[in-house]
A and B are shown apart, each in its own frame.
Chain A
Amino acid sequence: MNKPSDAVDAPSHTILLVDDNPTNLSVVVDYLAEHDFQIVVARDGETGLRLARQEQPDLILLDVLLPGMNGFEVCRRLKADERTQEIPVIFMTIVTKAEDKVRGFEAGGVDYITKPFQHEEVLARVTTHLCLRNLTRRLEEANESLERRVAERTTALSQANQELQAEIAERIRTEAALKRERSLIANIMETSPVSITVVNHEGQVTFANSQAEKVLGLVKDEITQRTYNAPTWRITDFTGGPVPDEKLPFQQVMATQQPVYDVQHAIEWPDGHRVFMAINGAPILDESGQVESVVFAVQDITKHKHAEAEIRQLNQRLEQRVADRTAQLKAANKELEAFAYSVSHDLRAPLRHIDGFLELLQQRINGSLDERSRHYMTIIFEAARRMGQLIDDLLAFSRMGRDEISKAPVNLGALVQEVIGELEPEMHGRSIHWQIAELPTVTGDRVMLRLVLINLLSNALKFTRGRVPADIEIGCETYDKETIIFIRDNGAGFDMAYADKLFGVFQRLHPADEFEGTGIGLANVRRIIERHNGSVWAKGQINQGATFYFSLPQITQPIQEMQ
């Protein structure tokens, strides 16, 4: 007996036997059971179909002649149902007609066993078909697994492909960006007004932008086209003197591996002309950290240097001119001083003599003089005295312009009180209504400011003569940068048409016999205030009073040291 091949071996195979003949059944069942097959039996086609679906046997032995549905029909149905179509069907029949066999194969059977059964034949056919079935299954499985693996591989490949595509796209993008950047750098290099060069560690120029080619006269080496011919100039200091090697920017960067900034040198061309340069340099390191080359940015500062020199020269010239002018002014001032000194001595003496000898003359002949002669003598006296007064005033005015100003805090409120006290004799018997605001402390020359107040207040008193009461107001307006003081009266006033004459030397707007004075007072006021960097002005109207203003630059704090 042949043992079934290992393909039919365990696990034991299930065989569905569809036959209505109990004799047949028992023969086949017994025999197959002996060979470790599981046998499921169906007595008709319907049951066979149901069991085939339920049990999923490995093989079906199908009798052709069945009650009801015959074997071919059962086979066709089995093959039409996808749950059962793969199960091999072997027909069992006693009929050996050729057309039956054809019908059987047409219905989907794989083989025939004819009755009466030859046991060996049954076993051989069953085993063969099971084996075939197994092989088919394995093949299918192998095929499936192969397909699965192909699919997996395809997936993996397509994924790899996608990744590759992405990488390629990325590279294209990167390359484009790189290209743009390169073009940007190239454009910057070519349009830069700064000369840019790269010098390798051996001192050879390996790159020069067009400005560098132009300014530094660098020419590409004819042979290599990669390096530049050594320039024909040499580096010097600003005066053309040699620069020691260790001071050269290239050497500095090589030695320190650090950048250098604004190293200033000149380069001297063979024809002797010098160009001034400001140089920045930075090392480019290789992977091992050694200086591979040095990048230089070189700026031509020749114009700069020339302009600087020119400015220096202009400044010197200007300073010289200021000094000259100052010297001239000093000389003029000295002359003026000498003049004033001479006036002081020499103009006064003749006046004294006129007055003196006139007095002596008068003493001698007074008794014999008639009315008119005495009148003439009086006029001569008065003229001489007036002349003396004018000279004194003029000298005082000139002194006001020459004397040094000694600036210190001056409490204007206190100063006003002091001046009013001094002017007391002029107020005798008069009704004067003073209105004095709080006045600040200013910075100035106390003696001179006192004179300003004396002049302005005595003017106010003088020109309010005849007013009952005389109103005199002293006020103050304080601003960020200046303090304005004003003195307002209700006196004779003046015509604004002549306002600009008020502060002139010996200018008078009123007849001398009405209001006495030489006309020097306001000129002094203006000179003093202007020497304090302030200004003076006035407003008035004939017979409506006048207001005199003067401003002083604000230097100290106002209104604190008030009385």
Chain B
Amino acid sequence: MIEALKHILLVEDDPKDIELTLTALEEYNLANEIVVARDGVEALDYLYRQGKFEKRPIGYPVVILLDLKMPRLDGVQVLQQIKADEQLRLIPIVVLTSSRESRDLEECYRLGANAYVVKPVRFTEFIEAIRQIGGFWVLVNEPPQIG
């Protein structure tokens, strides 16, 4: 089996947001190391190597960028499941959302989110936020050894 390279799992249902995020990461040449899950179910399928990700290479992302509002399983539920799993809970999770609502923020931190970033409306600020996230979690931060 091939082990996956250092990569980011982006859990996001909106293609436009996916495109903007990838565009932002391109500037850091990190776009190639992005795996996209289109909702919570896909995200868990990916992490557990099941469903359409059954055959993916072994290994875990160095960080999960998690949107909150998604069809089927939403971000909070995904967060809950990941943090309830002995192994998966070690993966850093950055909540990346449009919501500035304090109850979202509080709940995510309570469930164990490692960071909470509100997507800025202005693209220049958005790009800056994504670059910082990517730069920090992929290049600066030392990920845990899992499995």
A5-13, A77-85, A343-351, A546-554: which lies at the interface: A343-351
Question: Min CB distance, A480 to chain B, in Å?
Answer: 37
Q: Is A247 an interface residue (CB 8 A)?
A: no
Q: Is the CB of B123 within 8 A of A344?
A: no
Question: Min CB distance, B23 to chain A, in Å?
Answer: 7
A392 contacts which chain B residues (CB < 8 A)? 100
Q: Is B55 an interface residue (CB 8 A)?
A: no
Complex CA–CA separation, A348 to B104 (angstroms): 16
B122 contacts which chain A residues (CB < 8 A)? 355, 385, 388
Q: Would you give the 0/1 interface string for B86-118, flagging 1 where the beta carbon is closer than 8 Å to chain A?
A: 000000000001111110000000000000000
Complex CA–CA separation, A236 to B100 (angstroms): 68
B98 contacts which chain A residues (CB < 8 A)? 344-346, 348-349, 352
Q: Is the CB of B101 within 8 A of A352?
A: no
Q: Is A353 an interface residue (CB 8 A)?
A: yes
Q: Is the CB of B123 within 8 A of A385?
A: no
A395 contacts which chain B residues (CB < 8 A)? 100-101
Q: Is A359 an interface residue (CB 8 A)?
A: yes
Q: Is the CB of B123 within 8 A of A345?
A: no
Nearest CB to that of A351 among chain B residues? Answer: B121
Question: Min CB distance, B98 to chain A, in Å?
Answer: 4
B126 contacts which chain A residues (CB < 8 A)? 352, 355-356
Q: Is the CB of B17 within 8 A of A353?
A: yes
Taking a contact as CB atoms closer than 8 A, the residue among A341, A345, A353, A388 that contacts B20 in the complex is: A353
Complex CA–CA separation, A392 to B122 (angstroms): 13
Question: Min CB distance, B97 to chain A, in Å?
Answer: 7
A362-385 contacts to B, CB under 8 A, are: 384-385
Question: Min CB distance, A329 to chain B, in Å?
Answer: 19
Taking a contact as CB atoms closer than 8 A, the residue among A345, A357, A384, A385 that contacts B99 in the complex is: A345
Q: Is A139 an interface residue (CB 8 A)?
A: no
Complex CA–CA separation, A358 to B122 (angstroms): 10
Q: Is the CB of B20 within 8 A of A352?
A: yes
Q: Is the CB of B119 within 8 A of A352?
A: yes
Nearest CB to that of A396 among chain B residues? Answer: B100
Known: A352-B17, A352-B20. A359 touches B123 (CB 8 A): yes
Q: Is B68 an interface residue (CB 8 A)?
A: yes
Q: Is the CB of A344 within 8 A of B101?
A: yes
Q: Is A360 an interface residue (CB 8 A)?
A: yes
A353 contacts which chain B residues (CB < 8 A)? 16-17, 20
Complex CA–CA separation, A368 to B120 (angstroms): 28
Nearest CB to that of B69 among chain A residues? Answer: A345
Interface size class of A (residues with CB under 8 A): 20 to 34
B41-100 contacts to A, CB under 8 A, are: 68-69, 97-100
Q: Is B14 an interface residue (CB 8 A)?
A: yes
Q: Is B32 an interface residue (CB 8 A)?
A: no
Q: Is B145 an interface residue (CB 8 A)?
A: no
Q: Is the CB of B97 within 8 A of A384?
A: no
Taking a contact as CB atoms closer than 8 A, the residue among B14, B68, B101, B121 that contacts A384 in the complex is: B121
Q: Is the CB of A344 within 8 A of B99?
A: yes
Question: Min CB distance, A135 to chain B, in Å?
Answer: 144
- Secondary structure of the B side of the interface? loop
A357 contacts which chain B residues (CB < 8 A)? 16, 20
Question: Min CB distance, A15 to chain B, in Å?
Answer: 154
Question: Min CB distance, A174 to chain B, in Å?
Answer: 90
Complex CA–CA separation, A345 to B123 (angstroms): 17
Taking a contact as CB atoms closer than 8 A, the residue among A344, A349, A360, A385 that contacts B100 in the complex is: A344
Complex CA–CA separation, A344 to B120 (angstroms): 12
A340 contacts which chain B residues (CB < 8 A)? 101
B3-20 contacts to A, CB under 8 A, are: 14, 16-17, 20
Nearest CB to that of A392 among chain B residues? Answer: B100
Known: A345-B69, A360-B23. A352 touches B121 (CB 8 A): yes
B23 contacts which chain A residues (CB < 8 A)? 356, 360
Complex CA–CA separation, A46 to B101 (angstroms): 159
Question: Min CB distance, B21 to chain A, in Å?
Answer: 10
A424-441 contacts to B, CB under 8 A, are: none
Complex CA–CA separation, A375 to B8 (angstroms): 39
Nearest CB to that of A384 among chain B residues? Answer: B121
Complex CA–CA separation, A114 to B140 (angstroms): 192
Known: A352-B119, A352-B123, A355-B122. A341 touches B16 (CB 8 A): no
Complex CA–CA separation, A351 to B20 (angstroms): 13
Complex CA–CA separation, A345 to B68 (angstroms): 9
Question: Min CB distance, A383 to chain B, in Å?
Answer: 12
A358 contacts which chain B residues (CB < 8 A)? 123
Q: Would you give the 0/1 interface string for A384-402, flagging 1 where the beta carbon is closer than 8 Å to chain B?
A: 1100100010010001000
A385 contacts which chain B residues (CB < 8 A)? 121-122
A351 contacts which chain B residues (CB < 8 A)? 121
Q: Is the CB of A356 within 8 A of B123?
A: yes
B68 contacts which chain A residues (CB < 8 A)? 345
Taking a contact as CB atoms closer than 8 A, the residue among A344, A349, A355, A388 that contacts B14 in the complex is: A349
Complex CA–CA separation, A48 to B93 (angstroms): 171
Taking a contact as CB atoms closer than 8 A, the residue among B16, B97, B102, B124 that contacts A359 in the complex is: B124
B119 contacts which chain A residues (CB < 8 A)? 348-349, 352
Question: Min CB distance, A79 to chain B, in Å?
Answer: 149
Q: Is the CB of A348 within 8 A of B121?
A: yes
**Candidate in B17, B97, B98, B102 with the most chain A CB atoms within 10 angstroms:** B98
Complex CA–CA separation, A143 to B16 (angstroms): 157
Known: A341-B99, A344-B101, A349-B14. A388 touches B121 (CB 8 A): yes
Complex CA–CA separation, A409 to B20 (angstroms): 47
Nearest CB to that of A391 among chain B residues? Answer: B121
Known: A355-B121, A356-B126, A360-B123. A349 touches B17 (CB 8 A): yes
Which residues does A use to contact B, with CB under 8 Å?
A: 340-341, 344-346, 348-349, 351-353, 355-360, 384-385, 388, 392, 395, 399
15 contacts between A and B (CB under 8 A): A341-B99, A341-B101, A345-B69, A348-B98, A348-B119, A349-B16, A349-B17, A349-B98, A352-B17, A352-B20, A353-B16, A356-B16, A357-B20, A395-B100, A399-B101
Which residues does B use to contact A, with CB under 8 Å?
A: 14, 16-17, 20, 23, 68-69, 97-102, 119-124, 126
Give the 5 A-B CB pairs with smallest separation, nearest first: A388-B121, A356-B123, A359-B123, A348-B98, A356-B20
